[in-house]
A and B are shown apart, each in its own frame.
Chain A
Amino acid sequence: AQRVTQPEKLLSVFKGAPVELKCNYSYSGSPELFWYVQYSRQRLQLLLRHISRESIKGFTADLNKGETSFHLKKPFAQEEDSAMYYCALRGGTYKYIFGTGTRLKVLA
């Protein structure tokens, strides 16, 4: 079955601390993985995608096919990183499967 699992509903870290938002997936083929972010009172927007292999706002994510994971990391959290983060998988041409999301709170 195709599934995206984000085990943490809420993650609280202090400003300047490292952040890791976990994402595991289940898919039989070669999926494309994404991280979307939703800041307070803003629309959901793409943060990064694994094929780009880029760093956005200091965040990176590496696709680990062996562990079927796509964890989102940032070495030093900032207060403006507080948001809802969704991991998503695209299998085939269009169908996205989203995880249930992790709310990140960065404490001053």
Chain B
Amino acid sequence: DAGVIQSPRHEVTEMGQEVTLRCKPISGHNSLFWYRQTMMRGLELLIYFNNNVPIDDSGMPEDRFSAKMPNASFSTLKIQPSEPRDSAVYFCASSSRSDTQYFGPGTRLTVL
């Protein structure tokens, strides 16, 4: 298994543009998490899906952020419009039931 797959690995965009980050969880895992990593705040949980359903989105910063999980093997995190303060590394992680989380390699987002 290739583990959790994220794309793109790096994204540079200009303020105001739409950004879409993608994640493919490990096959068979029914929980998916999106995190944001910054120097100041460390790792913050943005949203949690269980069986493709959003369970907790209390960490989503504002309406500019949205996430979807149309099926068990794919999720997206969208930022529209993007702002410079959104620059961070975004991680996707998956797990099965109460097992530990497995992280993807992350997407480094830079908003100019």
Q: Which of B16-24, B48-56, B69-77, B80-88 contacts A (4 or more CB under 8 A)?
A: B48-56
**Beta-carbon contacts under 8 Å, A43-85 to B:** 43-46, 49
What residues on B are CB-neighbors of A36 within 8 Å? 103
Across the two chains, which residue of chain B brings its CB closest to A97? B45
Q: How large is the interface on A (under 10, 10 to 19, 20 to 34, 35 or more residues)?
A: 10 to 19
Number of B residues whose C-beta is below 8 Å from A?
A: 26
**Beta-carbon contacts under 8 Å, B1-38 to A:** 3-4, 31, 33, 35
Whole-angstrom CA separation of A93 from B50 in the bound complex = 11
- A-B pairs with the 8 shortest C-beta distances? A100-B42, A98-B43, A44-B103, A43-B105, A43-B103, A46-B100, A101-B42, A98-B42
What residues on B are CB-neighbors of A97 within 8 Å? 45
Query: Secondary structure of the B side of the interface?
Result: strand
Given A43-B106, A44-B91, decide whether A96 and B42 contact each other with a Cβ distance below 8 A.
no
Whole-angstrom CA separation of A43 from B45 in the bound complex = 16
What residues on B are CB-neighbors of A101 within 8 Å? 42-43
